[in-house]
């Protein structure tokens, strides 16, 4: 069974209480359950992680690069400024899908730029938790094409 890392950046552990008008009322635990269930249905082993620490996130990306593991990434605030994360992501050889719960292009101007997008296989944004489901489906399809 193919392993996929679903990595989540700053403040995503606060889902359900953080700006529910933007991010919804569902919790991070709900997201974890959805990702794992979706993975099982797609024949993927999904490991979901969240950190508020940039160095920890970069360490996880290095792990994925070394093991050639596909990544679904919600970089959260790191999206807009973390060149260190972008450089780590550029080392990935397996698919990388950038996801966002909300649509950054429809929000404040500082959210319009993603330093991650240029090294991602694709980006899915604005569909809430469904963004993750779509990303996992994309990983499954891309993995099947290369198998």
**Which residues are the active-site residues?**
23, 100
Beta carbons of 82 and 40 less than 8 angstroms apart: no
Task: State yes or no: 102 annotated in a binding site.
Answer: yes
CA pair distance 129, 116, nearest whole angstrom: 20
Task: State yes or no: 42 annotated in a binding site.
Answer: no
β-sheet with 122-125: strand ranges across: 44-50, 2-8, 71-74, 96-100, 122-125
Task: State yes or no: 111 annotated in a binding site.
Answer: yes
Task: State yes or no: 103 annotated in a binding site.
Answer: no
Secondary structure of 72-127 in the HEC alphabet? EEECHHHHHCCHHHHHHHCCCCCCEEEEECCCHHHCCHHHHCCCCHHHCCEEEECC
- Backbone φ and ψ for 34, nearest 5 degrees, come out as -60, -45
Task: State yes or no: 80 annotated in a binding site.
Answer: yes
For the annotated binding site for substrate, the residues are: 74, 80, 87, 101-102, 111
Tell me the binding residues.
74, 80, 87, 101-102, 111
């Amino acid at each position: 069974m193919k392993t996929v890392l679903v990595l989540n950046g700053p403040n995503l552990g606060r889902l359900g209480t953080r700006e529910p008008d933007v991010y919804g009322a569902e919790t991070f635990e709900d997201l974890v359950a959805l990702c794992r269930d979706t993975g099982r249905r797609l024949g993927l082993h999904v490991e979901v992680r969240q950190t508020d620490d940039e160095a920890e996130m970069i360490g996880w990306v290095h792990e994925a690069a070394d093991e050639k593991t596909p990544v679904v990434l919600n970089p959260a605030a790191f999206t807009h400024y973390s060149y260190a994360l972008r450089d780590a992501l550029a080392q990935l050889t397996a698919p990388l899908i950038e996801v966002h719960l909300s649509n950054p292009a429809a929000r404040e101007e500082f959210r319009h730029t993603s330093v991650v997008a240029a090294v991602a296989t694709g980006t899915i944004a604005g569909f809430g938790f469904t963004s993750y489901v779509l990303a996992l489906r994309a990983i499954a399809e891309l993995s099947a094409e290369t198998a």
